Amino acid sequence: MSDHVTQELFAVNALGTMNLISVAGDSLRADGFLASYTGVAADLALPGMGAYCASKAAAKAAMAVAVRELRRSKIRVVDIRAPHTETGLVSRALAGTAPSMPAGLNPSFVVHRVLQALARGERDLPVDAFDDSNSELSDSE
């Protein structure tokens, strides 16, 4: 991975998340929330995706710190680590060819699950929170 691509990944995924967190305390009201899609890549070390996974892991770490920093302001921080979702991102690699991925989740399913979590007051959405065998979610698509 070139330095330029690695820097771009970190600028968007890690620094973008950190910048958003830095203004959240002043911009959100008590009982508001800050949510970020760090994705399953934040928890994995995938061959051919080292810089991407590292940038997502940095975003996940920043979100974990934000949980503690924004708690006093009563701002809920939600880290969304959805599994691979069919957004077309794999066809738009910043450099080279993205590794082949298994079929991903339907984006509508993922969005519905996130909205459900926000309505329920959930604070963490790890990969297993997107189990598509959950009939309540599957029936709502």
Phi, psi of 10 (to 5 degrees): -70, -35
pTM for the complete prediction? 0.86
Q: Is the pLDDT of residue 135 over 60?
A: no
CA distance 136 to 141: 10
Domain residue limits, the chain: 3-138
For residues 37 and 80, the answer to whether their CB atoms sit within 8 Å is: yes
pLDDT digits (tens, 9 = 90+) for 30-69: 989 999 999 999 998 888 889 999 999 999 999 999 999 9
| Of 86, 77, 75, residue with least CA distance to 122 | 77
Phi, psi of 130 (to 5 degrees): -110, 30
Half-sphere exposure of 80 (CA within 13 A, CB side): 19
- What CATH number belongs to 3-138? 3.40.50.720
* pLDDT of the residue at 133: 56
